[in-house]
Amino acid sequence: MSRRLIIICSSVVFAMAVIGCQPPGGGGGGEGGEGGGDGELFVTLATGGQSGNYYPIGAALASVYEDELGATTTVEATGASVDNINLLDQGRVEMALIQADAADQAYNGDAPFEEPVDSFSAVASLYPQFAQVIATEASGIETMEDLEGATVSVGAPNSGVELNARTVTEAFGLSYDDFSPEYLSYSETIEGMQNGNIDAGFFTSGIPNPSVTELSTSTEITVVPVEGEGLENLLSDYNYFEETTIPADTYDTDGDIPAVSFGNLLVVGNDLDEDTVFDLTSALWDNVEQIQGTNSAAEEISLDTAEESIPIDMHPGAERYYSENE
C-alpha cells in the first residue's frame, strides 16, 4: 500500500489546528523522513511572498499532490530562497522553491551563509529567473551606475532577491555604501516607488513580475539594462548566470532590454527517501500543465530543461525518475 503524503504548513497556528499534524520542526518525523507511528510522511512546502511567482506555483504543486497522491496540502509563504534553505537545513521544511544562485552559494558556504549548507538537493530546474532592476522614470536612473546615491530597494531580508542584488551591484563596482539600501518586500517596494520614496528596486523573478506590471499601470518606469563590463563580470565569475534579454512587450519598453537570468529550483531535504522523491517528481511532470497555468513565468517549465542550470546535487529519487524517462 502506497504511503499518503501530507504536506503541512509550518504555521504553528494552522499546524496545531490540523488533526494529527505536527508543528514546525516535526515535519519530517523520524530518520529518512518517516512520519509518526501510522507511517505517514509529513512534508512542508516553502515558497516565497504571496505577491511573487513562487507562492502560486507552490499552491499548484500542493493541489497536484493532493489530487494525485491523496495528500492534505498547504503552502507556507516565506522570505524565499535564503530563508527556505535555512528552513531546509533546520529540518523545519522538506520541500522548497529556491534560486540557483542561492543554492550554489549555500553549497560553497559563501555569504550570506557562514559555512557550507548541503543538506538539500534538487528535484528539478523549473523556469528562468531574471535579475530585473526597475527604476521610476522620475528618478533619472538609466544605467546600473546611476544607482549611486539613490534609494534602492534590495529585497526583503534573507531573500534571494537581496542575495541577487548584492551580487549584481558588486559586479558593477558598487556596494551598499554607494547608495541607500532599503530591505523591502515587493509590495513595500511598489508602494515606495509610487509615492516617490524609493528610486529603484530589484525584482528577481520570472517575467513579467506581477508587482512590476502593477507598478507600470500607475507610474512611468525604466527597466535598467544589465550590460557592459558588469555583465561580463557576472558571466565570468558565476557559472549559473546566462546572458539574455527582457523582451520589449514584457513591460512595454521601446526595445528588448539586456539582462541576466538563472534557474529556479524545486528542492527537497536530503532526509526524504528515494521512493518518496521519485513519486513527487513523477506527480510534478505528469501534471505539469496545471503548474504552467499559474502565471506567465511558469509557462516556461518544461521536462526538456528540468536538468539544466542546476549547480547542486540532484536527489537520487529525481535522478531515477529522469533516467527512467529519457
Model confidence at 236, in pLDDT bands (50, 70, 90)? Answer: very high
Question: What type of residue sits at position 18?
Answer: V
Model confidence at 39, in pLDDT bands (50, 70, 90)? Answer: very low
Write a three-state SS string for the chain.
CCCCEEECCCCHHHHHHCCCCCCCCCCCCCHHHCCCCCCCEEECEECCCCCCCHHHHHHHHHHHHHHHHCCCECCECCCCHHHHHHHHHCCCCCEEEEEHHHHHHHHHCCCCCCCCCCCEEEEEEEEEEEEEEEEEHHHCCCCHHHHCCCEEECCCCCCHHHHHHHHHHHHCCCCHHHCEEECCCHHHHHHHHHCCCCCEEEEEECCCCHHHHHHHCCCCEEEECCCHHHHHHHHHHCCCCEEEEECHHHHCCCCCEEEEEEEEEEEEECCCCHHHHHHHHHHHHHCHHHHHCCCCHHHHCCHHHCCCCCCCCECHHHHHHHHHCC
pTM, 2 dp: 0.74
Model confidence at 16, in pLDDT bands (50, 70, 90)? Answer: very low
Tell whether 141 and 110 lie within a shared domain. Answer: no
**Gyration radius from the chain CA atoms:** 20
Tell whether 248 and 143 lie within a shared domain. Answer: yes
Tell whether 116 and 134 lie within a shared domain. Answer: no
In which domain, by residue range, is 89 found?
5-127+264-324
Please answer whether residues 51 and 290 qualify as being in contact, where contact means their C-beta atoms are separated by less than 8 angstroms: no
Of 217, 240, 262, which closes a domain?
A: 262
Tell the residue number behind the cell numbers 509557462, with chain if given: 299
Tell whether 189 and 178 lie within a shared domain. Answer: yes
Sign (positive or negative) of CA dihedral 280, 282, 286, 288: positive
Tell the residue number behind the cell numbers 503548474, with chain if given: 291
Q: Which among 193, 140, 192, 202 has a CA at the least distance from the CA of 170?
A: 202
Model confidence at 296, in pLDDT bands (50, 70, 90)? Answer: confident
Question: Which tens digits make up the pLDDT trace of 210-227?
Answer: 899 999 999 999 999 999
**How many domains does the chain contain in total?**
2
Range in 29-38, 43-52, 168-177 with the lowest mean pLDDT: 29-38
Residue-level pLDDT at 218: 94
Mean pLDDT computed over every residue of the chain: 86
Question: Which tens digits make up the pLDDT trace of 121-158?
Answer: 999 999 998 999 999 999 999 999 999 999 999 998 86
Tell whether 116 and 15 lie within a shared domain. Answer: yes
Model confidence at 41, in pLDDT bands (50, 70, 90)? Answer: low
Higher pLDDT, 53 or 202: 202
Range in 53-57, 117-121, 167-171, 314-318 with the lowest mean pLDDT: 53-57
**Which grid cell is 284?**
510534478
Higher pLDDT, 30 or 315: 315
Q: Which among 103, 131, 119, 108 has a CA at the least distance from the CA of 310?
A: 103
Tell whether 110 and 135 lie within a shared domain. Answer: no
Residue-level pLDDT at 29: 34
Residue-level pLDDT at 40: 65
What is the C-alpha to C-alpha distance for residues 76 and 151, in angstroms, rounded to an integer?
30
Tell whether 190 and 121 lie within a shared domain. Answer: no
> Largest alpha-carbon pair distance within the chain?
63
CATH number at residue 163: 3.40.190.10
> Average pLDDT in the 189-195 region?
97
Q: Give the rounded percent of residues in the chain with a pLDDT score beyond 70.
A: 87
What is the C-alpha to C-alpha distance for residues 108 and 101, in angstroms, rounded to an integer?
11
Task: Flag whether pLDDT at 206 surpasses 90.
Answer: no
> Average pLDDT in the 294-305 region?
92
Task: Flag whether pLDDT at 254 surpasses 60.
Answer: yes
> Average pLDDT in the 52-80 region?
87
Task: Flag whether pLDDT at 9 surpasses 70.
Answer: no
